[in-house]
Structure 1
Amino acid sequence: MSNYHVTVADYPSKQLVGMKVRTSMKNSHQDCPALWQHFGPRIGELLGNRESYGVSVMINEEEFYYWAVVEWEPLSPLPEGMERIDIPAGKYAKCTAPSLNELADVYMYVYGGWPESQDEYTFDEKKACIELYRTGWQPEDALDVYMPLKAK
């Protein structure tokens, strides 16, 4: 596993809309891509920014909800089968995964040791992790990952 560079970043609040799946650590490598395959063709139903996001919120140590979402214009109608998730502004640990193949390694690296290497923050497990997929993103492209923080 590589050493990844982690910084503390202020992240703005966002209103996101998309589709959700309940999955587990064991099944996420199948469930999350399947969700994107289902959601991708429907992105055009939503107005607004075309950057997309993967958002995850832990349910327990093994299970989590995962959303495939885009930013949403609140005045536009919410398409059938989609739901809204609001991301609060706050401090996040930011790390860049060089490609989709290294995404799991980034999560393991950051959650596995980064908080102990600094004094000011710990992870806020109650808030969402965010994966930013820029417009035109492809699986071999880099993506930014934001993990929510709280003061120690």
Structure 2
Amino acid sequence: MIIETKIIEKPAFSAVGITETIHFDSSVPPSENAIAKLWSRFNARNPEIQGQVGWRGFGLMLQNPDNPPGAPFEYTAAVQIHQDFDIPEGMTRIEVPAARYIVLTHRGPLDGIGDVFGHFWGHLLPNSLYEYDGGTRTGKYEFEFYDQRYTKANDPNSEIDLYFPIRDK
């Protein structure tokens, strides 16, 4: 369930995490799919990352807007960092540029997150004064933001913010 929609300007930030190419399979629930498995592997290695800013998890996606729906994409399970430290082996540092975002807050089990993406792409964006400004052309990331409001995959009170980079039409 979407409980809030807002537009914000977010400054640039740095993150460190594990990146994988995701071949999305809509028949597998989000709580069990390749992204959930990546988060599990990343969370096991999270203590290796120095200089973290609180517990701020980011599911970073840099889409190629020319790809058809359902095409593989790069996904990085990451945490925000505030200084330069050695990057653990097998991880990457990502500089997320400043951008304007439409932010949708989802409350409920993780398996309902697909409805939020569907609402953004199928209803909100086409009926707004904005267009998508992310992806490989601009270098602006779309991302999921996890903080203390996210508790576990099946909690009906868990909250996740989804950030979609936008610009005026």
2:125 matched residue in structure 1: 115
TM-score, length of structure 1 as denominator length: 0.88
- Structure 2 CA distance for aligned equivalents of residues 136 and 42 of structure 1: 21
User: How large is the RMSD of aligned CA atoms in angstroms?
Assistant: 2.0
Residue 4 and residue 111 in structure 1: after superposition, are their counterparts in 2 closer, same or farther (change >3 A)? farther
2:145 matched residue in structure 1: 132
Does structure 1 residue 142 correspond to structure 2 residue 155? no
Identity score, percent: 25
Structure showing the higher helix proportion among its residues? 1
- Structure 2 CA distance for aligned equivalents of residues 39 and 136 of structure 1: 19
How many residues align? The count is 150
Q: Out of 99, 105, 110, which is 1:96 matched to? A: 105
Query: Within 5 A, what are the aligned runs for 1:33-112?
Result: 33-47=36-50, 48-49=52-53, 50-59=55-64, 60-61=67-68, 62-99=71-108, 100-112=110-122
Instruction: Work out whether residues 52 and 135 of structure 1, in 8 Å CA contact, stay in contact via their aligned partners in 2.
Output: no
| 5+ long unaligned stretches in structure 1 | none
Instruction: Work out whether residues 4 and 109 of structure 1, in 8 Å CA contact, stay in contact via their aligned partners in 2.
Output: no
- Structure 1 CA distance for aligned equivalents of residues 127 and 2 of structure 2: 13
TM-score, length of structure 2 as denominator length: 0.80
| 5+ long unaligned stretches in structure 2 | none
2:17 matched residue in structure 1: 18
- Structure 1 CA distance for aligned equivalents of residues 7 and 59 of structure 2: 19
Residue 147 and residue 136 in structure 1: after superposition, are their counterparts in 2 closer, same or farther (change >3 A)? closer
